[in-house]
Structure 1
C-alpha cells in the first residue's frame, strides 16, 4: 500500500517548507503592490502573473515544487487570495519556523495554514477564506534585452531609498561598462555611477551593444517597493532595453524567483 498516496488523497494541494521567513518576506513585498491575487498551482509549483492597479508594474513569480520539503497538487487549481489578509497571518513567523499550507477536498474554499516552531513545541493553525477572482491572463512577449546586470541587492536598495528622498523619477542608464543612476529636478541634480567590478560589485552578465546607450526613466517609489525583497538574495539581476520595462529579478531563497517589471515613465 502506498502510504504517501493514501495520506495525500484528502488534499487538493499541500506544501511544506522550512523557508518560512522567505515566504513571509515574499508576501510582505507582494502586499505593497497587489491586493487580491490568483495563485496558479500545478504539480510543478506555484505561479503568479499579475499587474498592479495602475497597470504600471507587472509581477511574475514562480516557486518550484522540487524545492519544497513536500509538495502535492494532483490537478491544477487557481486560488484567489487576499495578500493583505495572508500577510497578517504570516507576519509573526520567525526564521526557525516551518510552514505548511494546504487545501482539503472537504473544505475546498479555505486555505489552511500551519506554522510550527518545533524547538518550542508550538503550532499555530489558521484558516483563510479563498476568493473567487477573475483570472486575467497576462501574456508576456519574449524580449531580447540589450543589457543584463548583476547588482548586490543591498546596494540597489540603499541607492533607491537614498534617491527616494530627493525626487520622484529616476533615470537608469547603461553606457559602456557603467550603470548610471541620476535625478534632476528644479532644486538639485544627482548622479551615481556603478562601474563593473570583480570584487562583489556590479557585473554585466550580458552587454550586447556596449557602444549604445540604454536608458529609461522610472518611478523611484515603485522601485523602493520592489526592494522589500532584498533579504531574499545577495544579488539581483537587472534587465534593460530601450523603450521597454525594466525587469528586476530576485531569487526567493532557494524556492524560486520573482520578477518585477516596471514601465518607463515616458511610456505612460
Structure 2
C-alpha cells in the first residue's frame, strides 16, 4: 500500500481519540478505501472510521489487512505539523509514515498480528436526530464534564440538552432549535438517555478537524455519533447507554 493524504492533522486527531479507547486494531485497505472498524474491549463502543479512496491525493492499495498498535501510531502522528501532507507505505511487516511539509520526517514501526473482524451492521431506529457544528458539540461536553462520569442526552422537538449531574450539583447546556446553534433537530416526543463520559471525551479530538457532527439516539438505546470531515472521510461511533 502507498497512499498520500493532503491533511495529516485529520489523521492525527482522529487516531489520537481512538487510541484512548483501543490499543490494537486491524486496518483494512482495499479499492474502496481504508477502514478501521472495531469494538472496545468492554463492548460499550463501536468505532467505524472510513477514508474513501477518493479522499486521497494518490491511492495504491490491494486488499490487505494491517495490524497497528494505536499508541505507537498516535505518538508518530503527534509529530504532524499544520499544513503537512501524510504518506503511508506498507511493505511486509513494516508500516511507514512520512510527513511532507517544510521538511520531511519519516517514522517506521512493525505491524502487529491482529485479526480483522467483520462486525455486523447496526440497525437502530432513532427518535432524535440532531446536527450541529463539531466545535459546539465539543464545547458543550467540555462545559459539563467536570461534574461526573456520565452525561445525559435529552431532546424534544425544540431543544437538545446535555446534562451532567451528581451529588455535587448539575451542569446543563441547552441548545434551542431556533438559536442558530443547531443545524437541524428532529425528535419524536421527549428522549433521554445516559452515556459514559470517557467514550464521549474520546470523540472530542475529532471535533478539532470535523465540520459537522450528527447525534442520533432514543431513550435507553445506543447513540450514534457521526463526524463528517472535509475530505469526505467520516467517523461513526455507537455508544451503549448506561442505567440511570
TM-score (norm 2): 0.93
CA 1:255–1:128: 2 relative to 1, 3 Å: farther
Deviation at 1:198, TM superposition (A): 6.3
1:89 to 76, 79, 88: 76
d(CA) in 2 for partners of 1:205 and 1:164? 23
Where does residue 114 of structure 1 map in the other structure?
Answer: 98
1:39 correspondence with 2:27: yes
Q: 1:101 aligns with which of 88, 102, 106?
A: 88
Task: Give 1:129 deviation, angstroms.
Answer: 0.5
Contact map agreement 1:22 1:253 (CA 8 A) in 2: no
Deviation at 1:205, TM superposition (A): 5.0
SS of structure 2 residue aligned to 1:254: coil
Unaligned runs of 5+ in 1: 1-12
Give the aligned partner of residue 130 of structure 2: 149
1:126 Cα deviation (Å)?
A: 2.1
Structure 2 distance, partners of 1:96, 1:191, is: 37
Report the 3-state secondary structure (helix = DSSP H, G, I; strand = E; otherwise coil) of the residue aligned with 1:66.
helix
Corresponding pairs, count: 244
User: Pairwise CA RMSD of aligned residues?
Assistant: 1.8
* Offset from partner CA, 1:199-250 (integer Å, 9 cap, x none): 3x1133543x2xx221101112321221111111232111112322111111
Question: Displacement, 1:90?
Answer: 1.8
Q: Which residues of 2 match residues 1-268 of structure 1 at below 5 A?
A: 13-74=1-62, 76-104=63-91, 108-117=92-101, 120=102, 122-197=103-178, 199=180, 201-204=181-184, 206-207=186-187, 209=188, 212-266=189-243
1:258 deviation in Å? Answer: 0.2
SS at match of 2:154: strand
In 2, the alpha carbon distance for the partners of 1:111 and 1:232 equals 24
Q: Work out whether residues 26 and 252 of structure 1, in 8 Å CA contact, stay in contact via their aligned partners in 2.
A: no
CA distance 1:205–1:187, change in 2 (3 Å): closer
- Distance across 2 between alignment mates of 1:235 and 1:197: 17
Kept in 1, the 8 Å contact 2:145–2:164? The answer is no
The 3-state SS of whatever aligns with 2:118 is coil
Distance 1:88 1:25 in 2: 11
Contact 2:19 2:70 in 1 (8 A): yes
Q: CA deviation at 1:158?
A: 1.7
